Amino acid sequence: MHGNGNTLRHELKYYIHPHDYVGLRNRLRALLPLDRHSVNDEGYHIRSLYFDDIRESALYDKISGYFQRKKYRIRIYNVSDRIIRLERKSKWNEYVLKESAPLTRSQVYRLLEGDIDWLADKGQRLLADFYQDLKAGAMRPSVIVDYIREAYVDVSTNTRVTFDKQLAAGLHSFDLFDPNLATWEAIQGPRMIMEIKFRRFLPGTIRSLAQVSAHQRSAISKYVLCKERQKVYDR
Secondary structure element (H or E) that encloses residue 61, with its range? helix 57-64
pTM, rounded to two decimals: 0.92
pLDDT in tens, 172-207: 999 999 999 999 999 988 999 999 999 989 999 898
Residue 2 predicted with pLDDT over 50: no
**What value does the mean pLDDT take over residues 77-93?**
94
Closest CA to 141 of 63, 80, 45, 223: 223
pLDDT at residue 139 in the model: 85
pLDDT at 120 over 60: yes
pLDDT at 4 over 70: no
pLDDT, tens digit, 9 for 90 and up, residues 145-166? 999 999 999 999 999 999 999 9
Say how far apart CA 7 and CA 200 lie, in whole Å. Answer: 10
Confidence of residue 5 (pLDDT cuts 50, 70, 90): very low
Q: For residue 59, give the 3-state DSSP assignment.
A: helix
Please, what is the average pLDDT of the chain?
A: 91
Domain coordinates of the chain in residue numbers? 2-234
pLDDT at 212 over 50: yes
What superfamily would CATH give domain 2-234? VTC, catalytic tunnel domain (3.20.100.30)
CA 44/CA 172 separation, integer angstroms: 24
Q: Give the mean pLDDT of 59-63.
A: 68
Query: Across residues 92-117, what is the average pLDDT?
Result: 94
Contact 202, 77 (CB under 8 A): no
